[in-house]
């Protein structure tokens, strides 16, 4: 194994970036984190200036350069959120703000495509249960219909990782994992779905070249050398969509392992060799291309830990600022409040579907609901209800994938929410399963590092890295004393969800 072969990773999420430098045995030599605010606009639009993403990479690299960590970097990998779209001209310059994956402006285009592409055909080609406004195929059509000037000038419609890969290498490339959620990628052939693009009247020439995950895309471009301080011989490696990278970083690369990301969204990931497209179940499960030849079931719920951030930012400002002055996490007060509230949150229950529901059933019109508010309901009850509501959503989706034969004995909990001891215990108690966490909980960064290490020849397969990446496991066993409490509230959660769905159906707002 070559020495001084450090790995630089950037995990560019919905509202924050995390960057890290790992050595060849995945010890963290340096880390960086910073949040940024999205622009929420009328018409269900959610945007961000693409240059902010690049400025975040520059800020992280500048810190690592000051720490003397960049000279030893052999390879760089970037993992990002999926579905975020950036139109760019022939020089790679953005022509508009990034259309963030949460953006729902393309609802009419999604409905148009849904009427023209049979659902069974769409599912078997893409692995996606529904055509939604979040999908790039609908967003591209929105540009063609509503901003033809931008559409015509666009040389390449980048996904976020593609945009950053261009800035790093000068190449227009994407990867099979990231493309899995676009609606115009065939997961069985790893090619663009020509028929879908033709149905939408979209030009395939405006899309980047497809590379495998964990492949060398090139070396650092001159701008990347100048702006980030990278050496000319630094390899730049394709990674995977952040949820897939996170699975790789938690050793979820083969059947039998289930990981759960408790981040902005709640994502359950189960590796399979052959997906069950025709399984006799009521709802379809999202199926993505893994970083390798396998597939991954990926039930996806768009709002999870972001709800706690919303509550912290809007209702715990003073408490969070005081915690920061003491050198504590801004989430420390929320954790303390939740623990004090106790199981059941004083009778308060949350449906955590703040931007609609995707899994296990598709319900784009439902919104978040706090049920059971009383005059004795305090901040702690709300925080605890948020954590418990997300855990009920997790339990519902674990039950869902069990219909496909996936029944984990232990759940590997990942993401920012996994750093909360009280939230880990709530998840274990609600789901009745042991929860496992690792020393390095930023598994998306770790997974990107693993793929970079494989691509540049430090290891042959990710499995060879597991003795390093799965260190210091922590187990959280369910508390049997809380099972009856949570079983009752989970029943109420399901009944409330069903009641709201029935109400919206009567109003004609759900198919």
Write down the pLDDT at residue 280.
54
446: tokens are 């770790």
Closest alpha carbon to 494 in 405, 387, 361, 404: 361
Torsion on CA atoms 482, 370, 300, 431, rounded to nearest 10: 10
Torsion on CA atoms 415, 418, 419, 423, rounded to nearest 10: 140
What pTM did the predictor assign?
Answer: 0.84
Across the chain, mean pLDDT equals 92
Report whether 299 contacts 359 (CB < 8 A): yes
Tens-place pLDDT, residues 177-236 = 999 999 999 998 999 999 999 999 999 999 999 999 999 999 999 999 999 999 999 999
Tens-place pLDDT, residues 93-122 = 999 999 999 899 999 999 999 999 999 999
Q: In this predicted model, which residue has the larger pLDDT, 261 or 141?
A: 141
Q: Sheet harboring 6-12: ordered strands across?
A: 28-35, 16-22, 6-12, 73-80, 235-237, 216-219
In order, the DSSP letters of 249-266 are HTT--STT-EEEEESSSE
How many C-alpha atoms does 370 have within 13 Å on its Cβ side? 18
Task: Give yes or no for residue 279 having a pLDDT over 70.
Answer: no
Helix ranges, 316-465 (H): 317-325, 332-341, 379-402, 421-431, 443-455
Domains and CATH numbers, the chain: 6-244 (3.30.420.40), 304-407+479-506 (3.30.420.40)
122: tokens are 């769409």
Closest alpha carbon to 97 in 56, 38, 149, 146: 38
Q: How much is the average pLDDT of 58-75?
A: 95
Closest alpha carbon to 19 in 5, 31, 28: 31
**β-strands 73-80, 235-237 pairing:** parallel
The percent of residues above 90 in pLDDT, for the chain, comes to 79
């Amino acid at each position: 194994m070559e020495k001084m072969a450090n790995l630089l990773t950037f995990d560019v999420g919905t509202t924050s970036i995390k960057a890290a430098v790992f050595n060849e045995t995945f010890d963290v030599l340096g880390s960086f984190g910073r949040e940024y605010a999205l622009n929420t606009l009328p018409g269900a639009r959610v945007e961000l200036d693409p240059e902010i993403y690049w400025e975040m990479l520059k800020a992280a690299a500048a810190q690592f350069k000051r720490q003397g960590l960049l000279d030893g970097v052999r390879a760089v990998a970037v993992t990002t959120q999926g579905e975020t779209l950036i139109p760019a001209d022939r020089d790679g310059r953005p022509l508009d703000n990034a259309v963030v994956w949460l953006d729902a402006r393309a609802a009419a285009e999604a409905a148009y495509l849904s009427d023209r592409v049979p659902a069974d055909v769409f599912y078997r080609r893409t692995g996606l249960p529904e055509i939604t406004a979040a999908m790039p195929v609908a967003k591209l059509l929105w540009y063609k219909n509503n901003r033809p000037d931008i559409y015509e000038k666009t040389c390449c419609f980048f996904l976020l990782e593609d945009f950053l890969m261009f800035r790093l290498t000068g190449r227009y490339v994407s990867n099979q994992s990231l493309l899995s959620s676009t609606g115009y990628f065939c997961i069985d052939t790893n090619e663009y779905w020509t028929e879908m693009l033709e149905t939408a009247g979209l030009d395939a020439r405006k899309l980047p070249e497809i590379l495998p995950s964990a492949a060398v895309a090139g070396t650092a471009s001159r701008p990347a050398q100048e702006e980030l301080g990278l050496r000319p011989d630094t390899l730049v490696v394709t990674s995977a969509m952040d949820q897939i990278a996170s699975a790789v970083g938690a050793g979820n690369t083969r059947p039998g392992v289930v990981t759960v990301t408790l981040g902005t969204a709640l994502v359950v990931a189960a590796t399979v060799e052959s997906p069950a497209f025709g399984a006799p179940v009521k709802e379809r499960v999202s199926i993505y291309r893994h970083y390798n030849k396998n597939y991954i079931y990926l039930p996806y719920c768009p709002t999870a830990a972001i709800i706690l951030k919303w509550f912290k930012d809007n209702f715990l400002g003073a408490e969070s600022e005081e915690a920061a002055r003491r050198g504590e996490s801004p989430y420390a007060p929320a954790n303390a409040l939740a623990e004090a509230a106790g199981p059941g949150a004083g009778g308060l229950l949350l449906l955590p579907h703040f931007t609609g529901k995707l899994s296990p059933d598709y319900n784009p019109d439902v919104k978040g609901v706090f049920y059971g508010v009383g005059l004795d309901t305090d901040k702690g009850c709300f925080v605890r209800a948020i954590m418990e509501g997300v855990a009920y959503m997790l339990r519902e989706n674990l039950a869902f994938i069990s219909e496909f034969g996936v029944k984990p004995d232990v759940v590997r909990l990942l993401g920012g929410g996994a750093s909360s001891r009280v939230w880990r215990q709530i998840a274990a108690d609600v789901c009745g399963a042991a929860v496992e966490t690792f020393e390095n909980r930023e598994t998306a960064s770790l997974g990107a590092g693993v793929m970079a290490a494989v691509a540049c020849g430090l290891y042959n397969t990710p499995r060879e890295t597991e003795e390093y990446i799965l260190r210091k496991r922590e187990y959280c066993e369910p508390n049997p004393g809380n099972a009856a409490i949570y079983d009752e509230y989970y029943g109420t959660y399901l009944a409330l969800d069903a009641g709201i769905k029935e109400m919206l159906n009567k109003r004609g707002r759900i198919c």
